[in-house]
Each structure stands twice: as C-alpha cells, then as structure tokens.
C-alpha cells in the first residue's frame, strides 16, 4: 500500500515537546463549537452542540481551573508538561476561554435569528404582545412567584449562599414611601424552567431572568426599579479524597455537601450591571480572586438545551433505531447460546445497548446462573442494570457489585444505587480509597454440563443506557475460560486486594498496562529496524502520558508509521522533523461522541492485516489511567471480531473525511479537506451492519466486507 507523504514541520530551534493539556482541551471544545456552526447539521442539532460546548466549559472550570487555582493559592510549584506554572496556565486559559465564550455568544445570535425564521423565538418581555401578556402574567403569578424568595441585602440580612451554577437576579430599587434605597437578591430555583413558553401559534420563549425583571412590580409594589441584572457562578466542584478516610461512604456524603459550597471559580454578570452592584456581588461571594466577566448575550449557554427539546423533527437528526445482533436473535434471544457459539462484539450506538441489558436480565432470571459480578462506574438515573442485579440477588443468586464512588458528578447517584443494591441483598464493594475502578466488566458464572462456565462482558464505555445512544463504544462478549479466569482475578483485586498472578490474556492497570503498551511499541521498533513494515494505530479519548508519548516519538524516528485518532486532549506534537515525523493525529467530532478505545500493532506486516495485534480497553493513555485507576486491556483473537475492530472500525475512523480534524505541529487543528470520495464514519455504521454479531446472513456470503484504507 502506497503511503501518502506528510508535511513535516522543521523547527528553527528546539521546541517544547508537548502541548499543554488544558489548552488542548479548550481546542477540543472549540471543535465541538464548530459543529454548532456546521450548516450541514439540522438547526436544533446545531443548538445542541452549542449547549454542549457551554456545559463542557462549565465542567472545565469546576474541575481543571479549580485545581490550578488551588495550586496557585497554595503556592505549589508544579509545572505542566510544557513547562508552564499554574499562574501561567490560568492566564493562557483565561484568554482562550474568553475568546471561546465570545464566539459562543456570536454563534448564539446567529442561531437565534435562524430559529426565529423557523418559528422558534427567544424574545424580550416587551415583545410578548398585548394578547398574550395577561396569560403570561397570570402564569408568573401562579407558577413562578410562589417559588421565588426575595432576600434583602442589608446589614441585617447577609448575602445568601448561592449554589454552583446558580442563576440569580440582583435588584436595586427606591422605596416610594420613604425614598429609601433597597437592594434585593432573587435566586432562581433550578426546578424552574430557564425559558417560559408564551402562548400562541409561534413558539416564543422568554428567559426566566428577564421575566422576573419585567414583573418586579408584582413582588415589590410601591418600589421604583433603578437597576437590575442577572449573574451566574461556577464553584470548585472537585472532590479531594483523604487517604486516611476510614469510611469511604461517609466521607463521600460529607464531601458532596462540601462541594456544593466550593469556592467561586468563575462569576459571569450581565452586561450593563452597575459597577456598584458588580462590586457588591464580588465582595459578597469572596470572588475577588475568581475570574469575573461581563457577558453580552445569554448567561449559561448550556441551558439552551431546553430549546433543543422542542418537537420539531425537521430541525433534528433523522431518528436512528439501533440494530440488535442477528446472532442472538437466531438463538431465540438466548445470549448465552450465542456467546458459546463464538465471541461477539457489539458496536454502540449502531447496535443496541439492549443486548447488554438482555445479558444481565437473562443471567438474573436463569436458574442455572449462580453468581454475577459487576463493576459499576456510571449507570444513569433510571438504570435497568441496577434492576437486573437487584432481581438476581432477590432470586437467591450471589451478586457482587463494585460501585465506584469517585465517578465525578455521579457520586451522589452511585451512593443511592449502592443503598438500593444492598437492600436487595447485593454485596456492594466500594473499591479503593486512592484509585478509581474504571474497568467495565460483567462476569456471570453458570452451571453447565456438570461444571461451571463463565461468561464475560467487557465494555469500553459505561453501563449507562442513555449515553450508550450517543457514545460510540464496544461491548465484547465471550465465554473464553482464560478471559473468565482473568476477569475473576481483577474482581478479587478490587474486592480483596489480591494482586493477580499470571494473567493469561488481560493486562491491567495499575499493574503493568503501561509497560505492556511500551513493549508492544518496542516490538514495532524492532520490525522497523529490520526493514519490515511497522505500524501503530490507536483510537483514544486522550493522550497525555509522557512515557508513552516519548516511546511513540522514538518509534516514529525508528521508522514506525503511527496513526492516532484522539478525540479530545492530545499532548503529543505530530509531524516534527527529528521527533515525530511519522506520526499523524486526527480528531473526529460529529453526531456521536467517539468513546471507544482501540489499539493495533502491525506485527511485521502492512496494516491492516490478519496478524496484527489488536486490543480494546477501558483506558486512555493518561497517567491517571495507568497509575491511579483499575483498567483492563483485552487482546482480540477471534478472526471475525478482529476483522470488525481493525478492518471496519479502525479503518473507518482513519478514512473519515467529513467529521475529521488534523492536528498540526503548531497545536492548531484544521478541518480535513475532502479529496475524492466522501466518507462519513457515523453514516457508514448507521447504514452498514457490523460483522461479529451477524449470523446466517454473513455465513451465506462466505466473505467479510472490509473498507479500503484511503489516506487523506
């Protein structure tokens, strides 16, 4: 296969070897924002991307910026990979984030006009109209006013606590009876909708903060309004784990309460709020050290998601119904029979997450199943997975659930699930104090033919029915006794701190996964030095680990061809002469969120090839995944599954040219230019069945459809 020459950056002087992690993440969020500007997407889907970029940025400030601010305040002299101090990073983040938010507001104004042309308008209270105004006022009196609690701001009434992401309105008025200056604060409860629908044929919406300002007279009769404005805060929301915590559950319950009162990291105020009121807010919130900005436009871009829920099918992606694996249907829905036949891999969201639920539900109902072990990282708010485990325990089976309390922003939900599981008789384990259990594994032990057979599910994503509709992930089912034994040892490590001995197939973190990856890359270096084809392909969410990056640099200059699909953070600099001249990096952002982790090594042959060593994993190539998390790395040996993962999924990612961005040596991303045949990764898998889940239809053809590797 002829390789396309790549442009190589030749630095005039030695350059930094790594990109900054935080700035790389901001560039990812800018790629998400670019999807909101993509005119090929339906209008409400563009609005959805805009809201996602806003929610992403909120979380970035809650966690990453909060961490850097903590380093700065504690005067921790810890430099980033690219040599920047916490203060330098915060300054760079501030500039980039401000530019990003300005672009969000510009795009919102564009989308707002286009939505109005489609009959969906966000209007000011003055535009409600005489006919609808009495109805809106009545709604305000009956549905909103009773929920609001105005709070005076004076020496007798200190400034109240405002929760994270809290939206509030501050008022300055003159009381007419005594000409006294009055200041009031109205916190808008999260239970209230951000937009209030105006009755009528058109879909007109008024932001609730504007409605409150408009009806101040209903709350404060005999007052003259002098000034009013809304503001919104972001608080430090990371939870620090105390290694000496004796009771992890009690510690997390306490930590969740503390998180709600974390220090203010970002304060955003409406443009035009008088300086005196801005000063009052900042001083009262202790936000003099927070990053404060005036916002021209809409506060809380993430809240635009409410408008996306409007029932306008023509303005959304055409609904997609996932397929169910043919092999299981041909076995009359018997998951165990299909898995016994041979390994299956299911490609979400193109194939339904219902197959995972069916696997667990069948295990719960099957009288021959005697034990179920399950790792739960994120399971959602209405989880059929939890119900299946509870049913199994109530049916008298031995059920063990490893519930990870350190799943950020799902800690409270996981505590609730843990309580429900325990009430049903499930043995609940909370894992380690200083590590996250991030591996996604289910293990079912079934009595068969006088012995025991173990069935396993390994996922690259979470056991979360909602995200499984929009995240691309892989679910691998197997009855291979070697994998069953290895999975059992991983469970014993988590539940009983028993380090695995002689894992036959799996590799795991924190016990040697990084070393395994380095060894595989070294093998490719060896092939290159012998003049044989040498290749590394990897699909990841993030690439940060220095040791892996350095090994990839070494491989590149030894002659190994390296293609990386890194959706989010990438600290590796590709295409630099003498350092990374054979490394290509791309990012894919589109209808679905790329989330699966796949690694492939050429093994002395041109890629793709039947002898390539292919792995799926729960881990990204980050220090935390290798050192502070329990993760798995699984080799794919079944030929059909191997073909699906390598020749279908990986090749499709590499040849996509409609949703792909190329990472340049400068750290900037450029949209891939379409040359020749167009190829949309997501559209391809929505319209083409995958391989390993197919039954008789594939057998009749007696061949395996593969994609051609055409480099862009």
Instruction: Tell me how far apart the alpha carbons of residues 220 and 209 are, in angstroms, rounded to a whole number.
Output: 16
Q: Is the pLDDT of residue 157 over 90?
A: no
- Domains in the chain and their CATH numbers? 21-100 (1.20.58.310), 126-315 (3.30.1840.10), 326-504 (3.30.870.10), 508-701 (3.30.870.10)
pLDDT given for residue 256 in this prediction: 47
pLDDT for residue 712: 42
Percent of the chain with pLDDT over 70: 89
Average pLDDT of 637-656?
A: 94
User: What is the pLDDT confidence band of residue 201, given thresholds at 50, 70 and 90?
Assistant: confident
Which residues are paired to 168 by β-bridges?
Answer: 187, 231
Whether the pLDDT of residue 123 is over 50: the answer is yes
Q: What are the structure tokens assigned to 2, written together?
A: 């002829």
Q: Is the pLDDT of residue 252 over 50?
A: no
Q: What does the pLDDT average to over 169-197? A: 94
At 200 the pLDDT is 82
Q: Are 405 and 249 in contact (CB under 8 A)?
A: yes
Choice among 41, 223, 347, 438 that is catalytic: 438
Cβ neighbour number for residue 477 with a 10 Å cutoff: 28
| Mean pLDDT for the stretch of residues 288-298 | 73
**Residue for token digits 């005039």?**
12
Report residue 245's pLDDT band, with 50, 70 and 90 as the boundaries.
very low
- 3 state SS of 542: coil
Whole-number pLDDT of residue 497: 87
Q: What length does the chain have?
A: 712
| pLDDT tier at 409, thresholds 50, 70, 90 | low
Contact 450, 374 (CB under 8 A): no
Least confident window among 369-383, 489-503, 580-594, 665-679: 369-383
Taking the CB of residue 603, how many other CB atoms lie within 10 A of it? 20
Q: Which of 99-103, 365-369, 705-709 has the lowest mean pLDDT?
A: 705-709
Q: How far is CA 203 from CA 110, 550, 599, in A?
A: 18, 55, 48
pLDDT in tens, 568-596: 999 999 999 999 999 999 999 999 999 99
Over the stretch 317-332, which tens digit does the pLDDT of each residue have?
Answer: 999 999 998 889 999 9
Q: What is the pLDDT of residue 243?
A: 44
Q: How far apart are CA 400 and CA 392, in angstroms?
A: 10
In whole angstroms, give the CA distance from residue 45 to residue 312: 11
DSSP 621: B
Segment 641-664 shows an average pLDDT of 95
Instruction: Note the pLDDT of residue 239.
Output: 54
- Quick check: 170 and 277 in contact, CB under 8 A? yes
pLDDT over 60 at 248, yes or no: no
pLDDT score at 544: 97
The per-residue pLDDT for 690 is: 73
Lowest model confidence (mean pLDDT) among 7-11, 96-100, 541-545: 7-11
pTM for the full predicted model: 0.90
Q: What is the mean pLDDT of residues 548-565?
A: 98
438 catalytic residue (yes or no): yes
């Amino acid at each position: 296969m002829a390789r396309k020459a790549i442009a190589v950056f030749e630095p005039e002087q030695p350059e930094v070897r790594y990109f900054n992690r935080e700035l790389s993440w901001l560039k990812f969020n800018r790629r998400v924002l670019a999807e909101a500007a993509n005119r090929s997407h339906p209008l409400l889907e563009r609005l959805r991307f805009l809201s996602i970029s806003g929610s992403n940025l909120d979380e970035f400030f809650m966690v990453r910026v909060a961490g850097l601010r903590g380093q700065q305040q504690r005067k921790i002299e810890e430099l980033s990979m690219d040599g920047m101090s916490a203060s330098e990073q915060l300054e760079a983040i501030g500039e980039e984030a401000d530019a990003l938010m300005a672009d969000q507001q510009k795009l919102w104004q564009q989308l707002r006009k286009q939505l109005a042309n489609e009959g969906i308008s966000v209007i000011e209270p003055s535009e409600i109209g005489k006919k609808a105004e009495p109805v809106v006022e009545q709604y305000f009196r009956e549905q909103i006013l009773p929920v609001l609690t105005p709070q005076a701001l004076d020496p007798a009434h200190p400034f109240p606590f405002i929760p994270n992401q809290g939206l509030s309105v501050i008022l300055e008025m003159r009381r007419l009876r005594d000409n006294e200056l009055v200041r009031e604060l109205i916190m808008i409860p999260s239970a209230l909708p951000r937009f209030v629908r105006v009755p009528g044929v058109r879909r007109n919406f008024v932001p609730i903060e504007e409605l409150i300002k408009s009806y101040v007279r209903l709350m404060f009769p005999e007052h003259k309004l002098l000034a009013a404005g809304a503001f919104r805060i972001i608080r430090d929301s990371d939870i620090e784990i105390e290694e000496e915590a004796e009771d992890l559950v009690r510690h997390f319950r306490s930590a969740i309460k503390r998180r709600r009162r974390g220090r203010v990291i970002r304060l955003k105020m409406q443009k035009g709020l008088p300086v005196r009121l801005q000063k009052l807010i900042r001083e009262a919130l202790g936000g003099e050290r927070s990053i404060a900005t005036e916002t021209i436009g809409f506060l809380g871009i993430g809240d635009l998601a409410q408008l996306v829920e409007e029932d306008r099918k023509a303005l959304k992606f055409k609904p997609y119904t996932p397929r169910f694996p043919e092999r299981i249907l041909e076995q009359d829905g018997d998951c165990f029979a299909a898995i016994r036949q041979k390994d299956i891999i299911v490609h979400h969201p193109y194939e339904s997450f219902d197959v995972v639920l069916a696997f667990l539900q069948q295990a719960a109902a099957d009288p021959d199943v005697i034990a179920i072990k399950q790792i739960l990282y994120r399971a959602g708010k209405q989880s059929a997975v939890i119900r299946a485990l509870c049913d199994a325990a109530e049916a008298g089976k031995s059920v063990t659930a490893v519930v990870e309390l350190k799943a950020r922003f799902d800690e409270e939900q996981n505590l609730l699930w843990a309580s429900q599981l325990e009430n049903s008789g499930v043995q609940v384990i909370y894992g380690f104090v200083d590590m996250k259990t991030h591996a996604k594994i289910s293990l079912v032990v079934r009595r068969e033919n006088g012995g025991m057979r173990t069935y396993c599910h390994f996922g690259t994503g979470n056991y979360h029915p909602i995200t499984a509709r929009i995240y691309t992930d892989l679910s691998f089912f197997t009855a291979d006794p070697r994998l069953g034994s290895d999975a059992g040892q991983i469970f014993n490590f988590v539940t009983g701190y028993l380090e695995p001995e002689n894992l036959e197939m799996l590799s795991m973190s924190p016990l040697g996964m990084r070393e395994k990856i380095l060894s595989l890359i070294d093998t490719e270096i060896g092939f290159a030095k012998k003049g044989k084809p040498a290749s590394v392909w990897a699909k990841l969410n993030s690439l940060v680990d220095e040791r892996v990056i350095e090994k990839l640099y070494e491989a590149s200059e030894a002659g190994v061809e390296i293609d990386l699909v890194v959706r989010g953070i990438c600290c590796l600099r590709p295409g630099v002469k003498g350092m990374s001249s054979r490394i290509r990096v791309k990012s894919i952002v589109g209808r679905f969120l790329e989330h699966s982790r796949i690694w492939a090594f050429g093994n002395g042959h041109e890629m793709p090839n039947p002898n390539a060593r292919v792995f799926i994993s729960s881990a990204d190539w980050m220090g935390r995944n290798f050192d502070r998390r329990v993760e798995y790395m699984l080799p794919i040996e079944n030929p059909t599954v191997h073909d699906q993962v390598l020749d279908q999924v990986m090749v499709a990612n590499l040849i996509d040219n409609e949703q792909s961005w190329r990472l340049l040596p400068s750290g900037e991303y450029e949209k891939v230019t379409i040359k020749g045949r167009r190829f949309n990764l997501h559209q391809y898998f929505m319209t083409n069945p995958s391989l390993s889940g197919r039954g008789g239809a594939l057998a009749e053809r007696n061949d395996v459809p593969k994609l051609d590797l055409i480099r862009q």
